[in-house]
Chains A and B, each alone.
Chain A
């Protein structure tokens, strides 16, 4: 069943690349037109960083408020999507400091509530696989420090390139590759535990 996680990876591989590889013009109108596709991704990224759906909603709004204020002042060569994710991460850091959150807490209730009617349209097996994918990824993310988790999310979940992640996190490209490689090792280890034990880390 674990192998089934990756069965349709090829047809979903381009999920994050459409936004990341396109180089839209940095202006307010472009950001408005991209909002529908970009906002859910930013919200998911913030929820993964903050571990709180409600807090992620506030952070998403704050992120785009700041983005709309600044987007017209950016150089024309700025990559819009990585820049928005950079603003989002800055907002997440501020909110975590304000709330005193030093460690990410996985809220399974939030994960369950976030599911929508889209799930009902798939087969029970696909739904089960997706649900288990949520559990495995959440558990793996909880084992990662914040910066490494952010790098892994930006790379695998949102499809940013290494040279886009590096300035966003203030790292060199080599360090970005190393951190993502180590994060992927944790992810693979978590998957291996799941395959051997059926459940990951005795999760609830």
Chain B
């Protein structure tokens, strides 16, 4: 079938190529057989392609294409995650964290300022502890200190409040004395 196809259609083209081959003739630059055999013996360790050339080339290009596709897909996934995750979760999380932190800090601050080291029962029974440290820095000192069991004192927070008020008063008086 191929022979018939060639006889019918390829005669003119083959004649053209034959003329061209004849015109180019015995080209210079063709290495001699001796040179090739010498190079073959000299380069005995050079690797020779075993597979068909086209097959190897195609496999190599296919593997490279698959590798690039994988890299592109991974990059697209990373970009998509980076774009979606902060917008969806960040505001709610931050708000919740702020509220939770604030609540915890306020409650713990009230407890630590007024009744640090005391049992929860003592703070819960005493209305001054429950109402907060700002309201009664001085008056509840004696009852709490007296009622507190041994080894659990409220001295540290009381001293803190007294010293802070003293410092502030001293600073105010000093400021007044310096005023004209």
Tell me the A residues contacting B by CB distance below 8 Å.
5-10, 12-13, 15-16, 32, 35-36, 39-40, 43-44, 47, 53-54, 56-57, 60-61, 64-66, 68-70, 86-87, 89-90, 93, 111, 113-116, 118-119, 127, 129-131, 133-134, 136-137, 155-157, 159, 161-163, 167-171, 177, 184, 187-188, 191
- Bound CA–CA A15/B21 (angstroms): 10
Mostly helix, strand, loop or mixed at chain A's interface?
helix
Q: State whether B48 touches A157 (Cβ < 8 A).
A: no
Q: Chain A residues near B36 (CB, 8 Å)?
A: 35, 61, 64-65, 68
Q: State whether A43 touches B27 (Cβ < 8 A).
A: yes
- Bound CA–CA A134/B16 (angstroms): 8
Give 28 pairs: A residue, B residue, CB < 8 Å, sorted on A: A9-B15, A12-B18, A15-B18, A40-B30, A43-B27, A53-B29, A60-B30, A65-B39, A66-B48, A68-B40, A86-B52, A87-B53, A93-B53, A115-B24, A118-B26, A129-B19, A130-B19, A130-B20, A131-B23, A133-B16, A133-B20, A136-B16, A137-B17, A156-B17, A157-B17, A157-B20, A184-B10, A188-B13
Q: State whether B17 touches A54 (Cβ < 8 A).
A: no
Q: Chain B residues near A89 (CB, 8 Å)?
A: 53-54
Listed from nearest, the 3 A-B pairs whose CB atoms lie closest are A9-B15, A90-B53, A170-B54
- Bound CA–CA A184/B55 (angstroms): 25
Q: Chain A residues near B13 (CB, 8 Å)?
A: 156, 184, 187-188
B43 within 8 A of A: yes
Nearest B residue to A15 via CB reads: B18
Q: State whether B12 touches A56 (Cβ < 8 A).
A: no
- Bound CA–CA A10/B63 (angstroms): 46
B14 within 8 A of A: yes
Q: State whether B23 touches A5 (Cβ < 8 A).
A: no
- Bound CA–CA A39/B29 (angstroms): 10
- Bound CA–CA A181/B97 (angstroms): 73
- Bound CA–CA A171/B52 (angstroms): 12
Q: State whether B25 touches A116 (Cβ < 8 A).
A: yes
> In residues 31-58 of chain B, which contact A (Cβ within 8 Å)?
31, 33, 35-37, 39-40, 43-44, 46, 48-50, 52-58
